[in-house]
C-alpha cells in the first residue's frame, strides 16, 4: 500500500501525543496515512510491551490510520546501525510516502533525538539505487520522500510551521487515552512517571493552545523542518 504520509516514532504513543491531530486531519482530507513504531516501548516504567501493543491497536482504530507496524528495535539501546537503517529503508520503499514525520530533534527522552537522526538518514539512503533491499523475496526500488518533518514533543522548540487541529483535538485526546497504562488512571497501582499524572493531559492541551494562539486558532501542532519549505503561492498559504 502506498501512503501519502508516514509517521515514525521511537515508541508507541509518541505519535499520538505529538502529531495525531495532524494525522487525523489528513485522513479526513482523504490522504492515506501510516505509523511505524521503531520499538515496542518495552523499557517503559508502566505496562508491558504486550499492553503497549494492545493499546496501540486501539489508538490506531481511533485515528483511522491505514497501516501500522513495529520494527522491534531495542528500546533505549537502538543505534544508528546498518541493520536498523535497512529496516527503515525497506519500510520507506514499501510504502513510498511523499512526506515523513518523525521524532523531535531534541527532547527529554534520548531515544527521541536518536530516532529523529536515524529516520532522517534512512530517508536519504532510501533514495540510493545501489543500496539493495528485498521484501518477500522481491527487490525493492529506491524511494526518497519529498520532505521529512519533525514533530515537537516534551521540550519546547520554536516551530517552523503549525497545523490547525482544533476540530481534531477531541479525537487526539481519545487516542492518547487509549494508552491506559501510560497515562493518568486513578485506579493504577504502578509507579508514577513524568507522563502519568493528571496534569500531563492538561500540558498536552496547553501546548496545543499555545501553538494555536500563534496562528489564531484554538488548538494546533508544531513542526520543525530540515530544509526550508518550498512555496509556490504565498497568497494561498494563508
207, 21 Cβ separation under 8 angstroms:
no
- Whether 231 maps to a domain, the answer reads no
Domain at 207, CATH number: 3.40.50.10320
Closest CA to 49 of 181, 224, 158: 181
155, 207 Cβ separation under 8 angstroms:
no
Closest CA to 167 of 12, 22, 64: 22
- Whether 232 maps to a domain, the answer reads no
Q: Mean per-residue pLDDT for 129-133?
A: 97
Looking at per-residue pLDDT, the higher value among 235 and 170 belongs to 170
- Whether 230 maps to a domain, the answer reads no
pLDDT (tens digit per residue) in 184-234 = 888 888 899 989 888 999 999 999 999 999 999 999 999 999 999 988 888
- Whether 237 maps to a domain, the answer reads no
- Whether 236 maps to a domain, the answer reads no
**Which helix (H) or strand (E) covers residue 214, if one does?**
helix 198-214
The total domain count for the chain is 1
pTM of the model: 0.95
Range of the structural domain that residue 190 is part of = 5-225
Amino acid at each position: 500500500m502506498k501512503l501519502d504520509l508516514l509517521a515514525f516514532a521511537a515508541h508507541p504513543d509518541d505519535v499520538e501525543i505529538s502529531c495525531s491531530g495532524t494525522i487525523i486531519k489528513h485522513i479526513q482530507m482523504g490522504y492515506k496515512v501510516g505509523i511505524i513504531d521503531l520499538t515496542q516501548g518495552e523499557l517503559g516504567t508502566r505496562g508491558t510491551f504486550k499492553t503497549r501493543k494492545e493499546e496501540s491497536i486501539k489508538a490506531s482504530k481511533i485515528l483511522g490510520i491505514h497501516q501500522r507496524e513495529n520494527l522491534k528495535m531495542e528500546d533505549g539501546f537502538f543505534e544508528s546501525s546498518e541493520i536498523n537503517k535497512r529496516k527503515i529503508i525497506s519500510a520507506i520503499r514499501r510504502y513510498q510516502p511523499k512526506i515523513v514525520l518523525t521524532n523531535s530533534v531534541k527532547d527529554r527522552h534520548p531515544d527521541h533525538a536518536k530516532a529523529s537522526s536515524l529516520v532522517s538518514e534512512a530517508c536519504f539512503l532510501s533514495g540510493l539505487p545501489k543500496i539493495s533491499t528485498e521484501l518477500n523475496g522481491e527487490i525493492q526500488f529506491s524511494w526518497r520522500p519529498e520532505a521529512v518533518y519533525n514533530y515537537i514533543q516534551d521540550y519546547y522548540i520554536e516551530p517552523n510551521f503549525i497545523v490547525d487541529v482544533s476540530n481534531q483535538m477531541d479525537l487526539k485526546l481519545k487516542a492518547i487515552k487509549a494508552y491506559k497504562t501510560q497515562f493518568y488512571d486513578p485506579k493504577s497501582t504502578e509507579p508514577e512517571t513524568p507522563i502519568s499524572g493528571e496534569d500531563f493531559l492538561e500540558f498536552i492541551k496547553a501546548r496545543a493552545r499555545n501553538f494555536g494562539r500563534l496562528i489564531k486558532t484554538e488548538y494546533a501542532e508544531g513542526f520543525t523542518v530540515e530544509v526550508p519549505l518550498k512555496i509556490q503561492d504565498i497568497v494561498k498559504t494563508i
